[in-house]
Amino acid sequence: MNPCGSAKQILRLLLFIENKGKHRIVKLENARRACKHTLSCLVQQLTDSMSSDLNSVFVNRLSCHIEKSKLGDAAGYFSFHLRGLDIKNVEPGPFGLGRSDPFYEISKKNADYRVGFVSWNVIYRSEVKKNNLNPYWKPIDFDLEKFCYGDLSWDLKITVFDHNDNGKHVRIGEYETTVKDLQDHIAIKGNADREQAIRIGEEEDHKIYGLLCVLQAKVVENQASGAV
């Protein structure tokens, strides 16, 4: 396998080291320069550089995620703002006084249908809104390449969870989308536009467990920003 046969081929590589359930991401500087011959050479360089961690008895797993860079034509950033509406309360408590603590994750799809491989890689996690069934999450500016490989039709998924301090978060519902689809759902009648809102649910029971109101979904091309 030689993914670097062309000088124009760019790869992004992340090395994950899991230590007692906690993950640490190791960044590799000048990854394109390091990848001179084969992917295996690059992985070997990474593992050699992390030898002290790998020899530790506390390291449970080493995994490496590599993705091709820049598939679409869009360049710039995606300015996105989301609000939850009528999010299902999954922790009412003994007297019915509790409320969900919702946050959401955005994942992008990676697939190789020739071998039946499909995965969703989390690219963003919002802040948690405590005891709130109608949360306003903070707006984000996201680099288009990181967000959707510069392809506005790339498959994405938004998943809403109820946060638990023990890390066992409860999935409330999810929705598969694209940048173009999010733009089609931008609120028209204010910040509680239920007609335009996204319905989140579970595929198994086809029920609705809340709404996501898209307050902003704007592509800003070819401009510098503080994008994620």
Residue 141: how many CB atoms within 10 A of its CB? 16
| Alpha-carbon span 220 to 143, nearest angstrom | 10
Domain boundary, last residue among 26, 48, 68: 68
Residue 188 lies in a domain: yes
State pTM to two decimals.
0.70
Which SS3 state, helix, strand or coil, does residue 3 take? coil
User: Vertex 152, ends 8 and 194: CA angle to 5°?
Assistant: 160
Same domain, 87 and 170: yes
Structure token digits, residue 10:
């760019």
54 and 116 belong to one structural domain: no
> Would you say 102 and 160 are in contact if contact means Cβ atoms under 8 Å apart?
yes
Closest to 10 in 3D by CA, of 80, 69, 59, 64? 69
- Co-location of 122 and 50 in the same domain: no
Q: Are residues 151 and 50 in the same domain?
A: no
Burial of 217 (0-12, 13-18, 19+ CB in 10 A): buried
Helices (H), the chain: 31-34, 39-49, 51-54, 144-148, 179-184
Give a yes or no: residue 190 inside a domain. yes
Per-residue tens of pLDDT for the chain, all 228 residues: 444 444 444 455 555 554 544 444 444 444 444 444 455 555 555 555 555 554 544 445 555 555 556 678 888 999 999 999 999 999 877 777 789 999 999 999 988 777 778 899 999 999 999 999 999 999 999 999 999 999 999 999 999 999 999 999 999 999 999 999 999 999 999 999 999 999 999 877 788 999 999 999 999 987 555 566
Q: How many domains does the chain have?
A: 2
Among 40, 68, 96, where does a domain finish? 68
Q: What's the CATH code of the domain at 157? A: 2.60.40.150
Domain that holds residue 16: 11-68
Do residues 133 and 59 both lie within one domain?
A: no
Residue 27 has a pLDDT of 46
Q: Is 47 a domain residue?
A: yes
